[in-house]
């Protein structure tokens, strides 16, 4: 059995010299599923702050997110008799449309143009959201960390920092406008 918990993060991007003043917020937190106590931690939660990141997009260049997202993953509550694993993933619901906007017609920025880095996790350098993990859209995911325990009792937590970039080097010129998308962050215990 698996346990998962999810957090949504809104991503805002502008392709102009204006700054984004629209507020954004977490849009979805999923409930935890029941688990087998021998192979999964008893409780699992994540918090992420801030709930929005903005970019000033650069035509044919790389834009860095306004701030890193601090993600705290907390687990515990059960005795782990065998090996228990906690995984953290971030993903978009679509590989072809991580962000959308630009006016009419709507233009999409694919997840392959969005990159994430977690110095204390799996992608220690900026890596595109192109993985297909057990959680999230096919070709639109990125594993942020995997942590395993054997004969574990009690609980634990870790805090990781996710930095984001949007690389438009391979994209045609996008129309000026506002682009937005939601990045989901989800923890899983096996």
In the chain the domains, ranked by start, together with CATH numbers, are 3-189 (2.60.40)
Average pLDDT of the segment spanning 100-110: 88
* pLDDT computed for residue 19 by the predictor: 26
Q: Percent of the chain, pLDDT > 90? A: 37
The model's pTM is: 0.79
Which tokens in the block code for residue 157?
Answer: 């937590």
Which residue matches tokens 């991580």?
A: 98
Which position has the higher pLDDT, 135 or 69? 69
Residue-averaged pLDDT of the chain: 77
Asked if residue 16 has pLDDT above 60, the reply is: no
Do you know the residue count of the chain?
190
Asked if residue 17 has pLDDT above 90, the reply is: no
Beta bridge partners of 160: 71
Residue partners of 30: CB distance under 8 A and separation at least 6: 4, 5, 6, 186
Q: In the Cβ-directed half-sphere of 172, how many Cα atoms lie within 13 Å?
A: 3
């Amino acid at each position: 059995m698996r346990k998962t918990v999810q957090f949504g993060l809104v991503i805002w991007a502008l392709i102009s010299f204006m700054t984004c003043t629209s507020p954004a917020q977490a849009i979805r937190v999923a409930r935890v599923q029941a688990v087998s106590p021998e192979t999964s931690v008893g409780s699992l939660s994540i918090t992420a702050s801030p709930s929005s990141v903005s970019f000033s997009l650069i035509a044919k260049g790389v834009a860095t997110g306004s701030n890193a997202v601090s993600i705290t993953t907390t687990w515990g509550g059960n005795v782990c008799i065998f090996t228990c694993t906690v995984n953290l993933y971030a993903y978009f619901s679509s590989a072809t449309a991580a962000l959308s906007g630009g006016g009419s017609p709507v233009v999409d920025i694919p997840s392959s143009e969005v990159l994430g880095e977690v110095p204390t996790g799996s992608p220690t350098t900026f890596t595109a959201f192109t993985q297909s993990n057990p959680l999230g859209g096919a070709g639109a995911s990125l594993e942020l960390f995997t942590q395993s325990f054997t004969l574990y009792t009690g609980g634990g937590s870790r805090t990781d920092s996710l930095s984001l970039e949007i690389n438009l080097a391979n994209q045609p010129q996008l129309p000026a406008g506002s682009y937005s998308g939601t990045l989901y962050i989800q923890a899983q215990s096996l």
